[in-house]
Amino acid sequence: MLEIDILAVVPGLLEGPFSHSMLQRATEKGLLRVRVIDLRNYGKGSYHQIDDYAFGGGAGMVLMPQVLADAIRDLQAQGAYDEIIYLTPDGQTFNQKTANRLSLKSRLLLICGHYKGIDERIRQKFVTLEISIGDYVLSGGELAAAVVVDAIGRLIPGVLNDETSALTDSFQDQLLAPPVYTRPADFEGMTVPDILLSGHEARIEEWRYEQSLARTKSRRPDLLQDEDV
């Protein structure tokens, strides 16, 4: 059972992603529990303020340290986290290896930033891992959190119907996935490679491996150089 808490500034952005398809199945099977917590619950004053001007000036607001500390401590009191993850464009780029590692944990907290981000001292004091989902800037961490939860959730043993299917994903062995085909064998004059219709399992596996390798060489040669598997 993997429990993921998401501390969000715009919880509405996360209403859809976890109640469909694979993540819904994972939740129904009792393998995953995702909770979205509104940071504003911990806001200060009658307006439940969560952000303030940046010291030193400049455009953009910063999420206040006391608000975040109160929220994190309140959630920690319900059970310790294996990782406290901050979604941020200056974090380490998310990849399959990190997804694999996180799918084996029991309790994760994901913190979504907004505006100019969160006060640096919260990163120093509480955050154990900083993740970016790519070199572009989103308006907040919520959609990045949804991406991370989806990638992790499908790796939890028992979540996917076909147990082996996650093992043959692109990236799982630093190779891109081979091309796939379904019926009809002739689609508008475009035919399926004969080998896939041959029923010869060993040769099909070999063909798939060769295709994976060729595809990786042409599209993502960097993956073949990466020693850090």
Of 141 and 153, which CB lies nearer to ligand ADE in the complex structure?
A: 141
Under 8 Å between Cβ of 117 and 64: no
Task: Give yes or no for residue 185 binding ligand ADE (CB under 6 A).
Answer: no
Under 8 Å between Cβ of 154 and 166: yes
Site for ligand ADE in 111-130 (CB under 6 A): 113
Angle CA 198–201–206, to nearest 5: 100
Residues in contact with 112: Cβ distance below 8 Å, sequence separation at least 6, in sequence order: 6, 7, 8, 9, 10, 87, 140, 141, 142, 144, 145
Of these, 36, 111, 133, 166, which contacts ligand ADE (CB under 6 A)? 133
Q: Give the span between the Cα atoms of 35 and 211, in whole angstroms.
A: 40
Task: Give yes or no for residue 144 binding ligand ADE (CB under 6 A).
Answer: yes
Under 8 Å between Cβ of 105 and 82: yes
Of these, 1, 80, 104, 137, which contacts ligand ADE (CB under 6 A)? 137
Task: Give yes or no for residue 63 binding ligand ADE (CB under 6 A).
Answer: no
Q: How far is the CB of 144 from ligand ADE (least distance, A)?
A: 3
Task: Give yes or no for residue 89 binding ligand ADE (CB under 6 A).
Answer: yes
Of 144 and 166, which CB lies nearer to ligand ADE in the complex structure?
A: 144
Task: Give yes or no for residue 7 binding ligand ADE (CB under 6 A).
Answer: no
Task: Give yes or no for residue 151 binding ligand ADE (CB under 6 A).
Answer: no
Q: Give the span between the Cα atoms of 183 and 191, in whole angstroms.
A: 10
Task: Give yes or no for residue 17 binding ligand ADE (CB under 6 A).
Answer: no
Task: Give yes or no for residue 6 binding ligand ADE (CB under 6 A).
Answer: no
Read off the DSSP letter of residue 91: E
Q: How far is the CB of 115 from ligand ADE (least distance, A)?
A: 10
Alpha helices (H) in 13-154, listed in sequence order:
21-28, 65-76, 96-103, 120-125, 142-153
Task: Give yes or no for residue 167 binding ligand ADE (CB under 6 A).
Answer: no
Task: Give yes or no for residue 184 binding ligand ADE (CB under 6 A).
Answer: no
Read off the DSSP letter of residue 95: -
Binding residues for ligand ADE, total number by CB under 6 A: 12
By CB under 6 A, name the binding residues for ligand ADE: 87-89, 113, 132-134, 136-138, 141, 144
